[in-house]
Chains A and B, each alone.
Chain A
């Protein structure tokens, strides 16, 4: 079946512009995660959506970053007034979450490579 998809695959923008990154999770997956990966670095957690619960926004680096998940499916990560340090690959992942203590694999999308000039 279809995996996690993300768009665009590449985005080049000018400093100060706003960007929107989209994630389509695997159908039926209730949990959705956004991560950021800078060149040669590990994954930095940004935000987590689980069903209808309030999202865990603890990883968002500044108030320029926000995310929404509409209808429990598609998610959009918005970065306002982009800065050069925002340049990174933004990865989305989804998983089935059946509750605490359940081990669930996260399936990642191919990522959006953001370059801020």
Chain B
């Protein structure tokens, strides 16, 4: 089983739609959680961190459920520019090393 699992998609949605991505992680000792965004043939960039209490950044809302080891990202009022792959990322300390584990990503395509 992969340490971070995501639905690969693609999610094809019209502009203005609300879309939610889910992610599960297997290491209960994981400490920090993030969503990264990767545009086609570009490098990943941090979208937002995910906090236990849930957090919002404009149209984006991230939530964490530690008991279920589950992370989500909600995008409201989708824009064409939101089309990208969204990577769920989990940070763990293993053997004294910090390590970010990336999910394979969920692809979003927003159409007019």
A→B interface (CB under 8 Å): 31, 33, 35, 41-43, 45, 48, 50, 56, 58, 91, 97, 100-101, 103, 105-106, 108-111
Contact = CB atoms under 8 A, between A and B. Distances in A.
Most buried by B among A103, A110, A111: A103
B44 A108 contact: yes
B interface, over-half SS: strand
A59 to B, nearest CB: 9
Contacts of B91: 103
B13 interface: no
Interface size for chain B: under 10, 10 to 19, 20 to 34, or 35 or more residues? 20 to 34
A106 B44 CA distance: 9
B45 A108 contact: yes
B87 interface: yes
Interface in B19-67: 31-32, 42-46, 49
Given A41-B104, A103-B32, A56 B87 contact: no
What are the nearest 9 A-B pairs in CB distance?
A42-B104, A108-B43, A43-B102, A56-B97, A105-B46, A103-B32, A42-B102, A108-B44, A110-B43
B75 to A, nearest CB: 20
